[in-house]
Structures are given as structure tokens and as C-alpha cells.
Amino acid sequence: MKVKPKDVSTIVILSKNKQGTKTIQVRTRHIAHLKYYAMCLVGVIALLVGSIFLLRNSIQKREQEKQLLLAQIVNLKGQIPVELQKQAEENSAQSYIQAIESKLKKINDYLRKRGLKGFSTKSVGGDANAANDKLTDKEIYMAYNDYLTHVVNSVAFTPMGYPRISSMTSSFGFRSDPFNSAHAEFHPGIDFKGNRGDIAHCTANGRVVSAGWAGGYGNCVRVAHSNGFETLYGHLSRITVHVGQKLSVGDKVGEVGSTGRSTGTHLHYEVRKDGKPVNPVKFLTLNN
């Protein structure tokens, strides 16, 4: 469609430096409606400003409602019956008691593997001293829990109990030389009666530091534990562990025999502290 000259208006644009002019042709009816266009633009801007204002008020209102709800929750917590609060505390206390009983059961498991009688887990008690009166139930149970964790580790890594359940045939200390009764010798361990092939058990968690022939000990295994303890198992007919191997309470270290300087089938067992032999009898039960 061809535009008639009277329907077109020419707009002349002059530059400030007067170096030239530009002309733009616009339909005349657009110029006539220019004020309506401006009014529409102002309306759109006003609508956007109003929307922002309403949105801001909505956010502030929601924040006020949130704070009111939080205040109501705090108020409701304060109105919880004393009985319910006591019940919640008792439930928390029960969880700590269960943790304590779990550790006692673990201790008992270590002791039974050593041929010892375990602790009773039917009840849990403590010292009824004045210090406990200053602690809450939760703090007392947490103290017991931490203490028993220490006990578990101590029992696990301290040589205790029997490497095999049998009678002793020779004790710790000076004795007559079994090869020459006219002479005395120092026996650095205790001997347990046994038959060839009977299992010798490790008496504490640890790591094998030697496993092989060791002179008069014959086939011998040494296991290092924590706190400077070592255990030694001598005269074995067969060794079933290797150097560097980690062992747990009750694990098999070898089989009873009569290798090395031995007069008969038995298990020679030693406990050493910082490299020096100590009487293993002190570690056979908790009462020694």
C-alpha cells in the first residue's frame, strides 16, 4: 500500500556542531498519538512500581507471621506437661544405658574368649558421692560411656586369660632344670598341658613381630600389644601366623608341640612388659 504524502511528517534532527542534519519520516497519526503512548508507558511503570510495593508488603507480612509462629512454638514448649518432659529425659537416659550395656557385652565377649567370667549387665551403678550430685543424669551417663570405652580398649589390648584352657605343668620363676635336676634355672613363663595339634590362642589384640624358630623356644610366635606388652607362645608344632599380621583376642597363633628345648608336649606362654618377663599368672584372672 502506497503512503500518501499528507500522511507522512518529516522530522529534522540538527547536530550541535552544525555539521549536518538528519531527517526521519514518521506517519502523522503516530505523532498525533504520541501523548497516548507516553501515558501508556507511565501506566506500565506505575503498574511495575505497584507490583513491587505489594510484593514487598507480602514478604514483610510472611516474615511477621513466621516470627509469630516461632513465638507460639516456644510458648507451647513451655506449656509441655512436666510428665512428658520427664518421659523425654528418661528416654534419653535409656539410650545411654543401652550404650553402656553394649560395651559391657563387648568386654564380656573378650573375657569369655580368655576363659574368664564376665561382668553382669543386668544393672548399672556408680559411686554415690557428692560429686555426682552436681552432674545431670545425662552428664553421668556420658561419663560412664567414655569410661567404658576406655575399659573396652584396655581389655582388648592387655594380655589376659588363658592361651589354652588346661592345667599348668610349670610355673614362673626359678625351678629345677628339667634336663639336669642338679641345677636350677629361671623359667620366664608358664607351661600349659596339651596334646600335639591343640590350638594356642592369642590373649590380646596385637601384631605379630616374630614367627619362626627361636633357639630353645623352638617354633615360637611373639605378639606385640599396646602399653609395652608382648606375649610369647613357644614349642609349637606348627605356626599359623606371619610377621606383621594383626590378631584379635582368641585368634589362633599355632598348635601345641614339643619343639626346641622341651621334654614333652606342652605350650610355653610368656607375658613381657617393656621387654622383661612378668608373671603371666597375674593376667589369668581379674582378681590377681
Of the given ranges (82-86, 120-124, 199-203), which has the lowest mean pLDDT? 120-124
Q: Percent of the chain beyond pLDDT 70?
A: 71
Q: How confident is the model at residue 61 (pLDDT cuts 50, 70, 90)?
A: confident
Residue 241 has pLDDT above 90, yes or no: yes
Q: Is the model more confident about 165 or about 98?
A: 165
Residue 231 lies in a domain: yes
Same domain, 147 and 244: no
Of the given ranges (156-170, 185-199, 229-243), which has the lowest mean pLDDT? 156-170
pTM listed for this prediction: 0.57
Residues 130 and 158: their CA atoms lie apart, in Å, by 33
Residue where one domain finishes, among candidates 100, 123, 157 = 157
Domain count for the chain:
3
Residue where one domain finishes, among candidates 105, 134, 157 = 157
Q: How confident is the model at residue 63 (pLDDT cuts 50, 70, 90)?
A: confident
pLDDT confidence of residue 265: 96
248, 201 Cβ separation under 8 angstroms = no
> What domain range is 200 assigned to?
168-283
Same domain, 257 and 178: yes
Residue 42 lies in a domain: no
Cα distances (Å, whole numbers) of residue 97 to 90, 100, 139, 140, 153: 10, 5, 12, 11, 19
CA trace torsion 39, 40, 41, 43 (10° rounding):
90
Residues 148 and 83: their CA atoms lie apart, in Å, by 31
Residue 184 CA to chain centroid, in angstroms?
Answer: 52
